[in-house]
């Protein structure tokens, strides 16, 4: 099956979270998939982000990282995920995680050219650091992605109701069917 960056893959609500969510099933070593491990998929991400990312009005025509900047960009992605995943759990992350994230942001801003995906992701992480209330930062109950719950009553359990909400309903339905057999 050919992979494509669909709107669903930008359910995070912030560029930094969409970048972190490029790893699918992060906590499951057997099924974990890194979409950025394929160069073409990383190269196509910025264009899709311009179309689907909730923060698209805040960044322009961003360029994918140059080959020599990719390792640094992935370090930034991992620091974003570790920090905000902890925070989504409801408590303040330890200072060491904050330090890792701030260092990754600083080195991305120092290294990456203005108008690059890496710089835009670093800026997005900074906005999240100052704005995100942990009550809005959530982990999807189905796929484990990070997302910002912008609903008024903060009642979202899924990154994307149309995909993960329905899959979860389907699997509950399947379990009920099995139990009733």
Cβ nearer to Zn ion, comparing 104 with 159? 159
Nearest to 85 by CA among 125, 43, 38, 34: 125
- The residue (of 72 and 165) whose beta carbon lies closer to Zn ion is 165
Contacting residue, 104, 121, 140, 148, with Zn ion by CB under 5 A: 140
User: Bridge-partner residues for 34, per DSSP?
Assistant: 23
User: Applying CB under 5 A, does 164 fall inside the site for Zn ion?
Assistant: yes
**Farthest CA pair distance, the chain:** 61
> In this chain, which of 22, 142, 146, 156 binds Zn ion, going by CB under 5 A?
142
Kindly give, in sequence order, each residue whose CB lies less than 8 Å from that of residue 17, ignoring residues fewer than 6 positions away: 80, 84, 128, 145, 146, 147, 148
Binding part of the chain for Zn ion, among 2-10, 30-38, 66-74, 156-164 by CB under 5 A, reads 156-164
CA distance 55 to 120: 10
Which of 23, 54, 128, 143 touches Zn ion (CB under 5 A)?
Answer: 143
Residue 146's DSSP bridge partners are 139
**In the complex, least distance from residue 82 CB atom to Zn ion, rounded to whole angstroms:** 19
146 lines the binding site for Zn ion (CB under 5 A): no
Residues found near Zn ion in the complex (CB under 5 A): 140, 142-143, 145, 159, 164
């Amino acid at each position: 099956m050919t992979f494509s960056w669909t709107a669903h893959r930008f359910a995070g609500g912030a560029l930094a979270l969409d970048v972190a969510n490029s790893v699918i099933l992060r906590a499951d070593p057997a099924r974990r998939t890194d979409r950025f491990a394929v160069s073409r998929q990383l190269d196509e991400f910025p264009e899709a982000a311009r179309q689907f990312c909730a923060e698209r009005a805040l960044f322009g025509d961003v360029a994918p990282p140059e080959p020599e900047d990719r390792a640094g960009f992935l370090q930034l992605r991992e620091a974003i995920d570790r920090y905000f995943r902890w925070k989504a759990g409801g408590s303040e992350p330890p200072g060491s995680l904050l330090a890792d994230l701030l260092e990754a942001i600083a080195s991305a801003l120092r290294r990456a050219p203005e108008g690059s995906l890496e710089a835009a992701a670093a800026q997005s992480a900074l906005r999240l650091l100052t704005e995100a209330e942990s009550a809005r930062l959530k982990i999807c109950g189905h796929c484990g992605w990070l997302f910002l719950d912008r609903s008024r009553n903060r009642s979202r359990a899924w990154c994307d109701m149309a995909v993960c909400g329905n899959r979860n309903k389907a699997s509950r339905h399947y379990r009920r069917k099995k139990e009733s057999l």
